[in-house]
């Protein structure tokens, strides 16, 4: 397989911002309840991660593979940030895949666990071999969805490489990476293959329910929630979560 393995030291690149304090249930502690994120904060986090991407050689990817729906808006913002910073004037193409994560129990009812495809590339519509491919999502929570996406992309690359080799065509190296806005520092269900770097705009040392602006039925109320949380963050010490 011609997928390039990145150096171990670049396996995780992150720009940390302490975002533990959200909306505490009681003034005595900073419980990881809800964390409202604004569009301005998202844009700022993506811009702040540009140096880490460029330092690791990911400043000009060929494809941004957005995991629908949470990865769509981050991928679009990231594309503009990378394009404006590009020395070659390059502009990554955005490709979209759809995945749904099912847990063992859904609302108390047994449910089949695992990740399901809802959208993928059509055969022969996208050439992955020889490309630098960055998978984009909004959050790395359990890592199950990201791990599935990378494994399936690797399988597509292997299939395409075999087809090229069968006709004697060159098989250039392919690079795969992952980019998320938020990474929750919690035990993960899935794992990324060795050598696939993960770039993180913001590490979260607790486990809040993250409220993204594109999910808000009322954006003004959403922004007010973010403003209230910011005031609480400065007023209340951020304590580590209880074991």
Residue 141 annotated as catalytic? yes
Dist CA 142 CA 94 (whole Å): 24
Chain centre distance of CA 203: 12
Element (H, E) at 65: strand 63-68
H-type alpha helices, the chain: 39-48, 50-55, 72-85, 144-166, 219-235
- As beta bridge partners, residue 11 has none
* Strands across the sheet containing 198-204: 12-14, 198-204, 175-184, 132-140, 63-68, 93-102, 114-119
SS (H, E, C) 89-146: CCCCEEEEEEEEEECCEECCEECCCEEEEEECCCCCCCCCCCCEEEEEEEEECCCHHH
Dist CA 230 CA 243 (whole Å): 25
Dist CA 45 CA 179 (whole Å): 12
Instruction: Identify the active-site residue in 51, 104, 124, 141.
Output: 141
Find tokens 């520092």 and name the residue.
185
Known catalytic residues are 141
């Amino acid at each position: 397989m011609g997928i390039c393995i990145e150096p171990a030291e670049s396996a995780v690149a992150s720009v940390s911002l302490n975002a533990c304090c959200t909306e505490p249930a009681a003034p005595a502690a900073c419980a990881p309840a809800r964390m409202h994120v604004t569009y301005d904060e998202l844009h700022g986090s993506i811009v702040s991660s540009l140096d880490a991407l460029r330092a690791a050689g990911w400043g000009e990817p060929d494809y941004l593979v957005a995991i629908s729906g949470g990865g769509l808006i981050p991928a679009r913002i990231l594309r503009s940030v990378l394009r404006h910073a590009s020395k070659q004037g390059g502009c990554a193409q955005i490709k979209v895949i759809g995945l749904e994560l099912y847990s063992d129990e859904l609302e108390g009812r047994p449910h089949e666990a695992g990740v399901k495809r809802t959208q993928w590339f059509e055969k022969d519509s996208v050439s992955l071999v020889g490309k630098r491919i960055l998978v984009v999502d909004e959050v790395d929570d359990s890592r199950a969805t990201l791990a599935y996406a990378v494994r399936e992309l690797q399988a597509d690359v292997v299939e395409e490489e075999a087809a090229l080799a069968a006709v004697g065509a060159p098989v250039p190296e392919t690079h795969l990476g992952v980019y998320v806005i938020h990474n929750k520092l919690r035990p993960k269900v899935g794992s990324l293959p060795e050598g696939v770097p993960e770039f993180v705009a913001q590490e979260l040392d607790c486990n809040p329910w993250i409220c993204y602006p594109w999910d808000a039925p009322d954006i003004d109320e959403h922004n007010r929630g973010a403003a209230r949380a910011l005031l609480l963050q400065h007023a209340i010490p951020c304590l580590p979560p209880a074991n």
